[in-house]
Amino acid sequence: MFSSCLPSGAFGYPKRGCLAAYCKTDADCGAAPGGACRLIANPCCPAPQGLACVYPGGCTKDSDCGGDFSKHCEIDGASKSAVCKPGGVGCPA
């Protein structure tokens, strides 16, 4: 896993910050055809979960997993890709 650091102001945060990066370019996503390195949305805040490979049938946000909240989009560290996982995500109030 890499780390990708962002300048202050990115995603509305006043300070510089870093996020998990399981890929840096599309070339890092060769485990299956059609892989692309994408930002994976965090359903609870404007900052993304991180960068991960997205393959056909994968996801970049929860709505890619259906609109009924029975699944959510999550980065799987073992495969370094974003996949739909069972269950919704409860964000803190």
Q: Which amino acid is at 72?
A: H
User: Is residue 13 over pLDDT 80?
Assistant: no
* Max avg pLDDT among 13-22, 59-68, 84-93: 59-68
pLDDT tens sequence across 39-81: 999 988 888 999 999 999 999 999 999 878 899 999 999 999 9
Q: Where are the alpha helices (DSSP H) in 1-40?
A: none
More confident site: 15 or 62: 62
pLDDT higher than 90, residue 4: no
Mean pLDDT for 17-36 is 94
Q: From residue 13, how far is each of 22, 40, 87 by CA, in Å? A: 22, 17, 28
Provide the residue ranges of all domains of the chain, joining segments of one domain with +.
2-86
